[in-house]
Amino acid sequence: MSRFDQHRIVPGAKLRLADHDPHGTPAFDGDKQEGKQRLAALNERLEELQEALYAEGKQRLLVVLQALDAGGKDGTIRAVFDGVNPQGVKVKCFKRPTELELAHDFLWRVHPHVPGNGEIAIWNRSHYEDVLVVRVHDLVPKAQWRRRYEHIAAFERLLADEGTVIRKFFLHISKDEQRERLQERIDNPKKRWKWNDGDLQERARWNDYQEAYEEAIVATSTEAAPWYVVPADRNWYRDLVISEVLVHTLEGMHIRLPEGDPDIAGTVVK
């Protein structure tokens, strides 16, 4: 068991996000410098495990990242997966659905992007948008998005039964931290490309999103596809939690490197 499993939402547990401190570092006694040193070691270990996963070619890992605007999804991907071989890692960002996607069931657009054997797939936003944004903006009837909790759980159970290991992370930031990050997108010319006028409209629905996340996480955190609520005001702690959980997960998959041809032992390349 990882020490960061205290951020894991146990199936059937209640969740009130207000009880989880976005600025806290409860599972780590060290400071920022020590955290970054630990993260560097985890980066190296994750690189080794990812290469072994790719070489073995028999198992798969799906990583789901969800957060409010400016929650740090992109930064998490850069920091946690620094150094991995892009050949064995796929990143998919799910934005507003296209007309074609809307013409199908809500899981149609995500299923083609699940990992194959030997791959890690990272989803920047995911199928959960269809019980979050859809709910907050009242895009479909309540009865419809409520049914989707069961569909999501069944979909993830299907993936798990077929050999995909799933880890889901909600990057939990405070409203004050979001304000600072959004303001930086305005004040810093190098970050203005990130600005979206719609961010302010979404921010005005802060409480609605908190409720939507609470219910979605509780309804879909299972043994096979657990949710982690990760304090994300401090980037270094966010990255540390996710890195250690993923390293612990991959080590628990007991990946075996292919033995290769034993007859080449002793061969000298000239």
3-state helix, strand, coil in the chain (%, to 5): 50, 15, 35
- Half-sphere CA count of 71, side-chain side, radius 13 A: 21
Domain ranges in the chain are 3-255
Burial class (CB in 10 A: 0-12, 13-18, 19+), 193: exposed
Q: Closest Cα partner for 185 from 176, 196, 171?
A: 196
Distance between CA 52 and CA 29 in Å, rounded?
31
What pLDDT, in 10s, does the model give residues 199-217? 999 999 999 999 999 999 9
Average of per-residue pLDDT across 212-225: 98
pLDDT, position 262:
80
Average of per-residue pLDDT across 242-269: 91
Distance between CA 27 and CA 17 in Å, rounded?
17
Q: Alpha-carbon torsion 153, 157, 160, 164, what sign?
A: negative
DSSP string, 252-267: HTT-------GGGTT-
Could you say which architecture CATH assigns to the domain 3-255? 3-Layer(aba) Sandwich (3.40)
Distance between CA 61 and CA 38 in Å, rounded?
23
Average of per-residue pLDDT across 106-124: 98
What pLDDT, in 10s, does the model give residues 127-185? 999 999 999 999 999 999 999 999 999 999 999 999 999 999 999 999 999 999 999 99
Q: How many CB atoms lie within 10 A of CB 137?
A: 12
Q: Which two tokens stand for residue 69?
A: 């605007």
Give, in order, the Cα–Cα distances in Å from 122 to each of 42, 61, 219, 263.
18, 9, 22, 38
Phi then psi dihedrals of residue 235, to 5 deg: -60, -40
Q: Which two tokens stand for residue 46?
A: 């994750």
Mean pLDDT check: name the lowest of 53-62, 96-105, 195-204: 195-204
